[in-house]
């Protein structure tokens, strides 16, 4: 049997979306006993604006919800506001509250050694789950998480 393969950065067309939905549904039943399609890959963006100047965006977080876990892919704060105003901590607290309200049991994120922010995340209750050494950029990455008390 011979194969053709295609790579694309575009959104999938309807045939591909239908195929993925059908096959993921089948796989979900086998692996999880239920369809978890509505529990994965839901994007969430959180933004923080200056209250006295509502057009000034100070920070943002981009997340994906996967299986009752909120995965933070980016947490960014304007450089001059990073250490003195607590915006990053505020965003993490809001994400935790949002996760709790939605019964999501964990927040997970990754960061590299080069970002020099491990202490910030640990101060906010995150623990290192895994260390990934020497990636394609010759750096070390950390996967951190925080379990959410749902009571």
Classify residue 74 by its DSSP letter. E
Domain contains 13: no
* Whether the predicted pLDDT of 71 surpasses 90: yes
Under the banding of pLDDT at 50, 70 and 90, the label for residue 2 is confident
CA distance linking residue 149 with residue 85, whole number of Å: 26
Count helices and strands in the chain by DSSP H and E runs? 3, 6
Domain contains 72: yes
Number of domains in the chain: 1
Query: Higher pLDDT residue, 50 or 122?
Result: 122
pTM of the model: 0.76
Give the mean pLDDT of 119-135. Answer: 93
* Whether the predicted pLDDT of 148 surpasses 80: yes
pLDDT on residue 3 = 61
Domain contains 55: yes
Give every CB contact of residue 75 below 8 A, 6+ residues apart in sequence: 59, 60, 61, 88, 91, 92, 109
Domain contains 19: no
Give the mean pLDDT of 65-77. Answer: 89
Domain contains 12: no
Domain contains 25: no
pLDDT on residue 11 = 61
Domain contains 75: yes
Give the percent of the chain with pLDDT over 70: 84
Query: For residue range 44-54, what is the model confidence (pLDDT) as tens digits?
Result: 888 889 888 88
Classify residue 62 by its DSSP letter. E
* Whether the predicted pLDDT of 95 surpasses 90: yes
Give the mean pLDDT of 25-42. Answer: 69
Domain contains 124: yes
Find the farthest-apart pair of alpha carbons in the chain and give their distance in angstroms, rounded: 65
Give the domain CATH number at 65. Answer: 3.40.630.30
The domain of 121 spans: 39-147
Give the mean pLDDT of 63-89. Answer: 89
pLDDT on residue 9 = 64
């Amino acid at each position: 049997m011979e194969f053709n393969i295609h790579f694309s950065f575009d959104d999938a067309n309807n045939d591909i979306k239908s195929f993925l939905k059908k096959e993921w549904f089948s796989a979900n039943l086998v692996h999880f006993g239920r369809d978890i399609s509505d529990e994965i890959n839901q994007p969430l963006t959180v933004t923080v604006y200056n209250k006295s100047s509502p057009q000034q965006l100070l920070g943002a977080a981009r997340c994906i919800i996967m299986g009752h876990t909120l995965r933070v892919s980016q947490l960014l704060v304007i450089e001059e506001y990073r250490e003195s105003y607590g915006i990053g901590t505020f965003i993490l607290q809001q994400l935790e509250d949002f996760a709790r309200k939605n019964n999501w049991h964990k927040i997970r994120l990754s960061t590299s050694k080069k970002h020099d922010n491990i202490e910030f995340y640990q101060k906010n209750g995150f623990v290192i789950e895994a260390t990934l050494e020497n990636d394609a950029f010759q750096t070390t990455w950390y996967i951190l998480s925080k379990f959410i008390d749902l009571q």
